[in-house]
C-alpha cells in the first residue's frame, strides 16, 4: 500500500498517483461508458492494483465524483483562453470539446449525474458558472441595464442550445449532424443574444 501522506496531508507523489488514476478513469468512462466504469477496469487502465485505486478512492462513487471535479476543473482552465466575444467564446467551447474528446465524456457525465448526487451537484455548479460567464458577455455586448433575472434567463437559453449540440455529438451522433451544425448553433445563439432585453424598471 503506498505511503503518500506527509504530516496529515497528501504528498506530491500521492497527488501524482491520484491524478494518474483519475485520468485513467476518464479514459475508461469515455471509451467504455457507464457500464464499463468499474474499479478493476480503472486499475488495469492505470497499470496499478485495485488496492491502489481503493487507497485513493474508497468506492466507485468516489471515483465518479473525482472524475466530475477533474473534468470541470479542466474546463475552467481551458476557458481562461477563450476569446472575449460571445461568438468567439461559443466557437471556442465547441471546437475545444471536439479536440479534447469532451463531447463523449460530457455525455457520460450527464448520465452519471442522474444517479450520483455528488456528480449532479458538481455539474450544477459548473453550469451555474458557465451561465455566469455568458451573462457577463451578454451585458458587455448588449450594453444593457436589464434585470439580472432577465439576462440570466437569456444566458441559460444560450447555454442550453450550445450544450444540447455538445451532448448530441457526445453520443456518437456527429455523423447524423450536418457539417455546418456548429455554425448554425452559434448563429442561433447569437440571434438569441441580439434580441432586445427589457430595461430595468425605474
3-state SS string for the chain: CCCCEECCEECHHHHHHHHHHHHHHHHHHHHHCHHHCCHHHHHHHHCCCHHHHHHHCCCHHHHHHHHHHHHHHHHHHHHCCCCCCHHHHHHHHHHHHHHCCHHHHHHHHHHHHCCCHHHHHHHHHHHHHHHHHHHHHHHHHHCCCCCHHHHHHHHHHHHHHHHHHHHHHHHHHHHHCCCCHHHHHHHHHHHHHHCCCCCCCC
Q: Is there a single domain that holds both residue 171 and residue 92?
A: yes
- pTM above 0.85? no
Check residue 7 and give its pLDDT: 52
Q: Is there a single domain that holds both residue 77 and residue 166?
A: yes
Domain count, the chain: 2
Report whether pLDDT(78) > 90: no
Q: Is there a single domain that holds both residue 89 and residue 145?
A: yes
93 lies in some domain = yes
Check residue 145 and give its pLDDT: 83
pLDDT digits (tens, 9 = 90+) for 131-178: 998 999 898 888 888 899 999 999 999 999 998 888 777 766 565 677
Q: Is there a single domain that holds both residue 7 and residue 95?
A: no
95 lies in some domain = yes
Q: Which CATH number characterizes residue 9's domain?
A: 1.10.10.60
Last residue of a domain, one of 58, 82, 99: 58
Q: Is there a single domain that holds both residue 100 and residue 188?
A: yes
Containing domain of residue 35, as a range?
Answer: 1-58
Q: Is there a single domain that holds both residue 47 and residue 108?
A: no
**Average pLDDT estimate for 84-99:** 86
144 lies in some domain = yes
166 lies in some domain = yes
Q: Is there a single domain that holds both residue 32 and residue 92?
A: no
pLDDT digits (tens, 9 = 90+) for 29-76: 888 888 899 999 999 999 999 999 999 999 998 898 888 888 878 888
Q: Is there a single domain that holds both residue 159 and residue 115?
A: yes
Q: Is there a single domain that holds both residue 49 and residue 92?
A: no
Amino acid at each position: 500500500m503506498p505511503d503518500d501522506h506527509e504530516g496529515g496531508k497528501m504528498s506530491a507523489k500521492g497527488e501524482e498517483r491520484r491524478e494518474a488514476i483519475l485520468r485513467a478513469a476518464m479514459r475508461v468512462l469515455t471509451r467504455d461508458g457507464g457500464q464499463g466504469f468499474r474499479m478493476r477496469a480503472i486499475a488495469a487502465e492505470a497499470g496499478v492494483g485495485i488496492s491502489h485505486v481503493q487507497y485513493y478512492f474508497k468506492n466507485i462513487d468516489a471515483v465518479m465524483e473525482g472524475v466530475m471535479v477533474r473534468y470541470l476543473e479542466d474546463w475552467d482552465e481551458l476557458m481562461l483562453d477563450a476569446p472575449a466575444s460571445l461568438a468567439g467564446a461559443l466557437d471556442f467551447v465547441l471546437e475545444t470539446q471536439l479536440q479534447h474528446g469532451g463531447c463523449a465524456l460530457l455525455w457520460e457525465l450527464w448520465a452519471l449525474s442522474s444517479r450520483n448526487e455528488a456528480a449532479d451537484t458538481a455539474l450544477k455548479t459548473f453550469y451555474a458558472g458557465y451561465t455566469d460567464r455568458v451573462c457577463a458577455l451578454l451585458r458587455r455586448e448588449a450594453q444593457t441595464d436589464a434585470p439580472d433575472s432577465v439576462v440570466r434567463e437569456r444566458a441559460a437559453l444560450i447555454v442550453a442550445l450550445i450544450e444540447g449540440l455538445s451532448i448530441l455529438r457526445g453520443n456518437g451522433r456527429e455523423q447524423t449532424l450536418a457539417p455546418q451544425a456548429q455554425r448554425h448553433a452559434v448563429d442561433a445563439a447569437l440571434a438569441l443574444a441580439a434580441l432586445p432585453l427589457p430595461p430595468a424598471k425605474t
